[in-house]
Structures are given as C-alpha cells and as structure tokens.
A and B are shown apart, each in its own frame.
Chain A
Amino acid sequence: MSAAPVRVPLHALAHGRSGDKGDRLNISVIAYDAALYPVLVEQVTEARVTGQFRHRRPTAVRRYLLPRLAAMNFVLDGVLDGGVNASLNLDAHGKSLAFLLLDMEIEVPAALAAGLGRSRVQQG
C-alpha cells in the first residue's frame, strides 16, 4: 500500500482530560483504538507538545507512557500563568487545555486510517 497518510486532529484518535496542581498541568491522552497507540507514541512527543503550548512558555514538558492503558500522561510546568490563584485567565485551572492538545494534527498511515471518522460511541 502506498496511499498517502491521512491527516487528522488528535481529537479524532484520542480523548483526554486536564488536571492542575499549582502552576503544573497534566493532560492525559488516551487512544480510542489501541492499534493506533504506536502512532500517537511516535508523533505526540514532548517536543511537539511543547510547540503546541509555545505561547505559554512551558519550563518543562514530560511524557509518561502507560501502554497497558493505551495512554500517555503529559506534565507541563509553568503553563498556567502561576496557577488558579494567580492567573488572569477565565479558565485559571486550564481545564480547557486538553482540547488545545487534542487539536494537534496527526498523520495516520493509510493502512490504519480505514474506519476513522466513524462515530466512536461504542462501549470502550
């Protein structure tokens, strides 16, 4: 198969949730389909996540892999403008920021792309 890879937002491949502690944010990225987890591991890297949050000037970005959950956990330091008690953001907790990460573009190999875009409402 030599078909071109399909570009999709991470949101089509994974779900996630933000959590905050002080000026530290964590975001989980959980593959809907374990077969696509290696694609996420390859492309959703610390460097790319740092780029996705460049305006917030992270002082550190760390990725932890949880293959048994087909998940990864990102920990971003210094991205919450001081945290919930110091930030001027409407969303001082950074609760919306999981969706900033899920907006990242991913290239899915054509062989794995079949079936993408279908509703993913089935029981996980």
Chain B
Amino acid sequence: MARRTLAIGCGAGFSGDRWDAAGPVVDTLIERGGPAALIFETLAERTLAAAQLARRRDPEAGYEPALERFVAPVLARCVAHGIPIIGNFGAANPHAAARRLQALAGAQGLARLRVAVVEGDDLSDEQGRGALGEALEAVRGGRDLVAANAYQGADAIAGALRAGAQVVVTGRVADPSLAVGPALAHFGWHEGDWDAIARATMAGHLLECGAQVTGGYFADPGMKDVPDLAAVGFPIVEIEAGGDFVVTKAARTGGRVDARTVKEQLLYEIHDPAAYLTPDVVADITDAEVCALGDDRVAVTGVRGHPRPPMLKVTVCFDGGWLAEGEISYAGPNAEARARLAAEVIRSRAGAGLALRFDLAGVLSLFGDDHGRTLAECVPSDARDVRLRVAAAHCERVPLEHLMREVLALYTCGPAGGGGVRTSIVPRLATASCFVRRELAPARYMMLEAA
C-alpha cells in the first residue's frame, strides 16, 4: 500500500478563474517529486444548469467552455510526470469534454491519453426524475425542469485513478471529492476510515476555491496585507497517510498561506462545524487546529470523521424567468437628491405590477434588502457621485422591457444631469435542493478508448 505523502494542487477554483494559475502549481509539484495530483473545480450551482441549456442547443457542448484554456498549458507535463488531472469541467456533458481532451492530447503529440468519465450525477432524464420521485415534485412547483444533478462522491474518481486514468472528467461531484478521490486511490483507505477521509475532505475543501486559501479574497489593506496579490499563487496540500495535511502554495508566486488565510477558508460555506456533510463522510472540525509552520506552510490537524450520510444532495434547476437591471449616474452638487428623485420617477412610472429594488451606489448598494427597508431608513447624505440602480424580476420579458425604457427615458424626462444609462435583461435559473438515496443514483466511471 502506498504510504508516501500525496501532494494535490489546485488549478482553478471556479469557472471564471485564471487560466495561467495551474502552470506554477504543476511546476512546483514536479520539483518536489513524489506522488501528486491536480484538480480543477469549475462548476458552481448555476454553471451546470447553464451547461445543460448549452447542450440542448449543441450535443457536443455543455462542458466547461474554457476547458482547453485551463488544461492545455499543463497537460503534457502532467502526463510526463504521472500527475493525474481530476476536474468537474465535464459539467453537463463529460463525454464531450473527454473527447475534446483526447483531441487536445493528440494535437500536443501525446499518444493514447487515458481519460475516464464519471457518470451518475445527471438525474435530468426520465429514469433520474423517477429516482427523485416525490422529492422533486415537492420543490418543483409546476416550473420547467432544466437540470437535476446529484452530488457524487470520491469513490468513482478513485476507481478511475486505480484503473490508470491520466485525466478524470466529472460532472457534479462534491467539490472536496475531487481531492478525496486521489487520496483514496493513493492511500487505499476504505469505508470506515472516517477520520482519514474527513481530513482529506477538509484538504479538498481548502483547495476547491483556489486562491481563497492563499491570500486571494483575503486582503484588507492595513489589516491583512498580502504580498504581490496580482500574482497570487494557487494552493497545494500535502496529505499524509493518516489524512493530516499541510497547506502551501505554488513556488515563486505571490500571496500568502498563514493561519489566518487557512482559518477563513476552513470556515467558508460551513454551517455546523461538527457536521460538514459530503457524499464521502461527515467531517467534524470542532477540534481542528491550524498551526503556521512559516514559509507559507500551515498544518491542519484534529479533524474527525463520522459515517457518510445515506442520502445524496441533489441540486435542481428550473426556468427562472428574467432579471432586468437599469442604471444611471448623478454627480456634483445635490447629486444624491437628484438620484433619489429619479428613483421616485421610475417607481411612479412602473406601476404596481413589478416589485422594484433601488440602490444608490455611493450611498447604499450592497447592505440593503430587496424590500427597501434599509434604504428607507438611510438618511440622505449629500453624496456627490451616485449611481441609481433599479432591478426587477418577472416570468415575462415584456414588462421588464417597459421598465428599462423608463430608465432610458430619464435622459430627457428625469432629473438634471443624469448620465451613463446602462440596461440589461438576462434569463435566470432558479434552483432548489432535494435528496435521493445513494443507491438510487450510483456513480460509476467509464474509461474512454483512446482516439
């Protein structure tokens, strides 16, 4: 059984992440030698539904649009050094993504790339909807279903790696499972090794948002300064046989890894710290400890694990109508009063059919609530550079088009000196969550034949 420390690097923490982040991570994994893997996390809640819509338009689409931009810079080096790549960039069409990767490998002169596809998350078809049954109907409310995907765990990823996959393409899996998969394959942990699996899960949790653990999304000048944030390096974890791990980052990059960056990300999107639920384990970080070792290295210990839950979480996406946003700016003397008057004009012209939200960027635009309670209590402040924003949602586009025309008409019919009108109307997706018994949505991997 392999017992050496396993290093896992992260090349992307979301679909919009930097394309040049993975290169220094792979350089570092190669320099340190030893067993390693690289993960890409590019699949947010709504990303998958958007991908499902793309696949309906084009049967070869529906995976991460920037797949090649993420993978091309590192594929050859990863293959040459035996570093498997695991990514949920398959989104709604992992088979098409896998074919694209094989084509990319061919174009780079890499013969017979072994690509595995993890399936079983997509419950959008008739059989999947049947497995969801009443749970789906309970959240559906008569809306059109766009996608239903179960959060799968690490087992199928680990199986694919043990079978020799050089790249594993998944759709929806729990984000930490991207890292738990290679840890299971490397250390040979079994169901029941809950502490070890929970530790690897928290390692994956710290990796999955990329730079958020290495100084990205952290800097607060004068309070929490980050060196060379523009060149922030992406994270690497070094996992030991018992699951305890050290967080560090790519060499010769900006950013920092210290106790504070690790604590912030450790608690990111956590609810009950004693029960962080994934398909692989229930992780308990109540007694976790974070110890800075210096040189951008932090040890995380004390994570415990409990048996994994019997149910898988399922994200269901529905058609969500339309979102309209219109903006106009006022500056100089009495700017805030003019912006507030413009809001009154819009409210009066829009009538009662739409629920409107108003913001005054420069005064109050983020902390306010959709019902306007915060803005109503916000005493006018004579701000001199204010951007009014009005937002509304509706199942039909036409009423929103009328609203946006009212924003545009502020140019001639509104208060003095308004400038910079922008309007947009975009389709929305609504999401809900339900659960399915794991045996009704089994995951499996399939090794693709080399092209």
How distant is B269 from chain A, measured CB to nearest CB, in Å? Answer: 3
Q: Please give, as numbers and ranges, the residues of chain A lying within 8 Å of B430 by CB-CB distance.
A: 85-86
Q: How far is the CA of A64 from the CA of B271 in the complex (A)?
A: 9
How distant is B270 from chain A, measured CB to nearest CB, in Å? Answer: 6
Q: Report which of B45, B264, B266, B367 forms a contact with A100, defined as CB distance below 8 A.
A: B367
Pair B369/A17 contact, Cβ less than 8 Å: no
B433 at the interface (CB under 8 A from A): yes
B267 at the interface (CB under 8 A from A): yes
Pair A90/B366 contact, Cβ less than 8 Å: yes
Q: Please give, as numbers and ranges, the residues of chain A lying within 8 Å of B290 by CB-CB distance.
A: 69
Which of B218, B259, B269, B285 is most buried by chain A, counting CB atoms within 10 A of its CB?
Answer: B269
Interface residues of A in 40-86 (CB under 8 A from B): 55-57, 64, 66, 68-69, 71, 73, 75, 81, 83-86
Pair B267/A73 contact, Cβ less than 8 Å: yes
How distant is A26 from chain B, measured CB to nearest CB, in Å? Answer: 6
Q: Report which of A56, A71, A81, A85 forms a contact with B429, defined as CB distance below 8 A.
A: A85
Interface size for chain B: under 10, 10 to 19, 20 to 34, or 35 or more residues? 35 or more
How distant is A32 from chain B, measured CB to nearest CB, in Å? Answer: 8
Pair B429/A68 contact, Cβ less than 8 Å: no
Given contacts A84-B46, A90-B359, contact A55 B373 (CB under 8 A): yes
Pair B269/A26 contact, Cβ less than 8 Å: yes
Q: Please give, as numbers and ranges, the residues of chain A lying within 8 Å of B444 by CB-CB distance.
A: none
Q: Please give, as numbers and ranges, the residues of chain A lying within 8 Å of B272 by CB-CB distance.
A: 64, 75
Pair B285/A66 contact, Cβ less than 8 Å: yes
Q: How far is the CA of A28 from the CA of B273 in the complex (A)?
A: 11
Pair A85/B285 contact, Cβ less than 8 Å: no
Interface residues of A in 17-47 (CB under 8 A from B): 17, 19-22, 24, 26, 28, 30, 32
How many A-B contacts if CB must be within 8 Å? 127
A106 at the interface (CB under 8 A from B): no
B352 at the interface (CB under 8 A from A): no
Pair B268/A121 contact, Cβ less than 8 Å: no
Pair B431/A55 contact, Cβ less than 8 Å: no
How distant is B26 from chain A, measured CB to nearest CB, in Å? Answer: 27
B447 at the interface (CB under 8 A from A): no
Given contacts A15-B260, A66-B286, contact A56 B369 (CB under 8 A): yes
Q: How far is the CA of A19 from the CA of B430 in the complex (A)?
A: 19
Pair B223/A22 contact, Cβ less than 8 Å: no
Pair A124/B287 contact, Cβ less than 8 Å: no
Q: How far is the CA of A123 from the CA of B290 in the complex (A)?
A: 13
Residues in A lying within 8 Å of B, measured CB to CB = 11, 15-17, 19-22, 24, 26, 28, 30, 32, 55-57, 64, 66, 68-69, 71, 73, 75, 81, 83-91, 96-97, 100, 119-121, 123-124
Instruction: Known pairs A17-B265, A55-B368; list 19 more (Cβ under 8 Å).
Output: A22-B431, A28-B267, A30-B260, A66-B285, A66-B286, A66-B288, A68-B288, A73-B267, A85-B320, A85-B431, A86-B320, A87-B370, A88-B370, A88-B393, A90-B366, A97-B366, A100-B367, A120-B223, A120-B224
A-B contact pairs, 17 of them (CB 8 A): A15-B220, A15-B224, A21-B269, A28-B263, A30-B260, A66-B267, A66-B285, A66-B288, A68-B302, A75-B271, A81-B369, A84-B45, A85-B429, A90-B366, A119-B223, A120-B223, A121-B222
